[in-house]
Amino acid sequence: MSSDSHATYIKSAPERMNYIDGYTPVSYVAPHSSLERGSTWTGMGLLLSALAGVGAVLFGIASNSVGQQQENWLLYVIIGAVFAVVGGIIGTLLIMKGRAPYRRYVKETGRVH
């Protein structure tokens, strides 16, 4: 084997995940792991913070439904809905981006663990 073929293999290795048959990689250190991607954790944080927007929407609706009304209940509903939708969409997209290597791993190897 010449050194040129070895160099070509190293260059193409990141494009394709080459695992030995029967080897199950450890999830924390595997190249396909979603746990080591910042986009996955940022997306999860955005999804959780989007729940605050849902809470603002519920607060606005509830404050309008009782006898004493909040002056700006509709503003709470609008801002909460925008925050929840934007945070939910961006969070979902970031999680999908962070999980892309795992989806590629499952597609290439057929493993689901």
- pTM equals 0.71
Question: Residue 3 above 60 pLDDT?
Answer: no
d(CA 84, CA 48): 10
CA distance to 19, 30, 38, 44, 70, per residue, from 95 (Å)? 24, 18, 9, 7, 37
pLDDT digits (tens, 9 = 90+) for 24-60: 666 666 777 777 788 999 999 999 999 999 999 999 9
DSSP designation for 68: S
